[in-house]
Chains A and B, each alone.
Chain A
Amino acid sequence: GDSVTQMEGPVTLSEEAFLTINCTYTATGYPSLFWYVQYPGEGLQLLLKATKADDKGSNKGFEATYRKETTSFHLEKGSVQVSDSAVYFCALGENAGGTSYGKLTFGQGTILTVHP
């Protein structure tokens, strides 16, 4: 079945450092890929998405490129801020066809802490 593997955490960085969180996936068909973020005390929020190979999703300075050849969707940010401290989840979404969408399969999450 479908699966998502994220890099082991937690990740601790100083403000303005470069961030990479690795994500690889296994899937049949042509899934959509997502990064969700969970800030302390809040629910899961969509950070960015990509729906087909070579698409780049971006939001709030974060980027990720859908790489079919390496089955990867790594999250990057050039300069992190203290406010980026959160748990980041990579997820794979089934495209069930037409207007129907299936479940999300999540990675285990990566805790990011950014120090001033």
Chain B
Amino acid sequence: EAGVAQSPRYKIIEKRQSVAFWCNPISGHATLYWYQQILGQGPKLLIQFQNNGVVDDSQLPKDRFSAERLKGVDSTLKIQPAKLEDSAVYLCASSLSSVQFFGPGTRLTVL
């Protein structure tokens, strides 16, 4: 069974630029999550989707971050404009039950 796919794996941008990350969850998983993991910390939820609807986006900085899951499968997370403090690993996870399966993450460096 294929795992959660994410791309790109690495991205370096300058502050005030925009960036987008893509996630393809495990087939059949209705729930999709985006987490931000800052170096030395545990992951923190940014947004949770159930199919193509948003369940929880209370921690998403909506002035600069946006996410969508239009057809209830793939998802895109966008940052515009990026700030230095956005440097982190962005993790996508999907689930069918209480267990979440994580992708390899996208490491973002904002200069």
A residues with a Cβ closer than 8 A to B are 4, 32, 34, 36, 42-46, 49, 51, 89, 91, 93, 95, 100-109
**Contact with B42, one of A49, A93, A109 (Cβ below 8 angstroms):** A109
Q: Chain A CB within 10 Å — which of B31, B42, B91, B104 has the most?
A: B42
Report how many residues on chain B are interfacial, defined by Cβ distance under 8 Å: 27
B27 to chain A, nearest CB (A): 18
Cα(A43)–Cα(B40), bound, Å: 15
With a cutoff of 8 Å between Cβ atoms, the chain A residues found around residue B99 in the complex are 34, 46, 49
Residue contact A108 to B41, C-beta cutoff 8 Å: yes
With a cutoff of 8 Å between Cβ atoms, the chain A residues found around residue B42 in the complex are 4, 89, 91, 106-109
Cα(A84)–Cα(B37), bound, Å: 22
> Could you show 21 A-B contacts with beta carbons less than 8 Å apart?
A43-B4, A43-B103, A43-B104, A44-B102, A45-B102, A46-B99, A89-B42, A91-B42, A95-B98, A100-B31, A101-B31, A101-B95, A101-B98, A103-B33, A103-B48, A103-B56, A106-B43, A107-B42, A109-B40, A109-B41, A109-B42
Mark B22-55 against chain A: 1 for CB-CB distance below 8 A, else 0.
Answer: 0000000001010100001111110010100001
B residues with a Cβ closer than 8 A to A are 3-4, 31, 33, 35, 40-45, 48, 50, 55-56, 91, 93, 95, 97-105
B72 to chain A, nearest CB (A): 15
10 A-B pairs with the lowest CB-CB distances in the bound complex, closest first? A106-B42, A103-B45, A44-B102, A43-B104, A43-B102, A32-B98, A101-B98, A106-B43, A108-B42, A107-B42
With a cutoff of 8 Å between Cβ atoms, the chain B residues found around residue A51 in the complex are 98
Q: A93-B98, A103-B33, A103-B48 are in contact. Are A42 and B104 (CB under 8 A)?
A: yes
Residue contact B98 to A49, C-beta cutoff 8 Å: yes
A29 to chain B, nearest CB (A): 13
Cα(A84)–Cα(B49), bound, Å: 33
With a cutoff of 8 Å between Cβ atoms, the chain A residues found around residue B102 in the complex are 36, 43-45
Q: A102-B48, A103-B48, A103-B56 are in contact. Are A44 and B97 (CB under 8 A)?
A: no
